[in-house]
Amino acid sequence: MQHRVVFLDRSSLQANVRRPAFEHTWQEYPATQVSELPERLRDVTVAITNKVPLRADTLRQLPKLKMIAVAATGYDVIDIAYCKANGIAVSNIRNYAVHTVPEHAFALILALRRNLIAYRQDVANGRWGQVDQFCFFDHPIRDLFGATLGIVGEGALGQGAAKIARGFGMNVLFADHAPPKMPGVEFTPFDEVLAASDVISLHAPLTPETRNLIGVQELRRMKRTAILINTSRGGLVDEQALVQALTQGWIAGAGFDVLTKEPPKEGNPLLDLRLPNFILTPHVAWASEGAMQFLADQLIDNVDAFVAGHPQHLVT
């Protein structure tokens, strides 16, 4: 059987993507709109997608589709229930961002705890030249040593963040949640983590249970000196509630790499914030050169393994 393989959003991955080892035809598109899916996936047996959604309405039109290879760890863009019911295998990428995402999270943490953006703006505005001593203290600077990091999600990324935190001398709390849970992890009640942490970092998947995990009540429980970091999924946080928390001083700051809808072509309340204690990056925490190449290699490994009859990294 000759497989037809289509990569729907090749431009989302800046790495060398080798071709599968089995007999196949290959087609790739820089990006794909949902309206283009039925035509582009006609007669396809293996579809590769990073962020192009594949929902039931589309999948019903693809009787030859056997596998969806997701070029990411998160697979919320896929209708998993439909795939399970109709024998479509879905694979994802594992452990490729174990360094790059925690490092990005800590870049945000350090910048916010030490108020680097605020001080950088002050220097650019001439403030340093106006003072009478060698430095000035317009914004609080807080150490990581001795502070508490609360982590939501104890998978590879959460564990990676914990490892870095301990290197800084931080105390680490993992928030308790419903099963499944990673074995060997000591959990702390979620409300206690919110109240005790100086930094909250989110490393959880987006599911119906975790959507809007952090809202008004949760932000109100956090310390006024605490910061919130989200390098996971935008839907984990109620964005309007976060705007309120930052503008009214419920928390000291936030660093986000994700939004509920990406790209935000129709706008987003977080895009309108012009605060030195809020940092927003464009979903690039995962995108170091090394991590992207690891991802690309594992992506094709997943496709090869499925066709060879010993699938790996399946989520269905």
Q: Which two tokens stand for residue 159?
A: 């564990």
CA dihedral 51, 56, 61, 65 (to 10 degrees): 60
For residue 49, give every residue at least 6 positions away whose Cβ sits within 8 Å of its Cβ, in sequence order, or none.
7, 8, 9, 68, 69, 70, 71, 77, 78
Helical pair 100-113 and 116-124, crossing angle rounded to 10 deg: 60
Question: CB of 111 within 8 A of CB of 89?
Answer: no
The identity of residue 27, as a single letter, is: Q
Q: Which residues pair with 264 in a beta bridge?
A: none
Helices (H), the chain: 37-40, 56-59, 80-85, 100-113, 116-124, 156-167, 190-196, 216-221, 239-247, 289-308
Residues designated catalytic = 233, 262, 283
CA dist., res. 204 & res. 209, Å (int): 11
Could you give the CA distance from residue 315 to residue 209 in angstroms, rounded to a whole number? Answer: 18
Give whole-number Cα distances, 251 to 223, 256, 279, in Å.
Answer: 6, 14, 14
Amino acid at 285: A
The continuous run of DSSP H or E covering 90 comes out as: strand 89-91
The SS3 assignment for 121 reads helix
Q: How far apart are CA 90 and CA 306, in angstroms?
A: 10
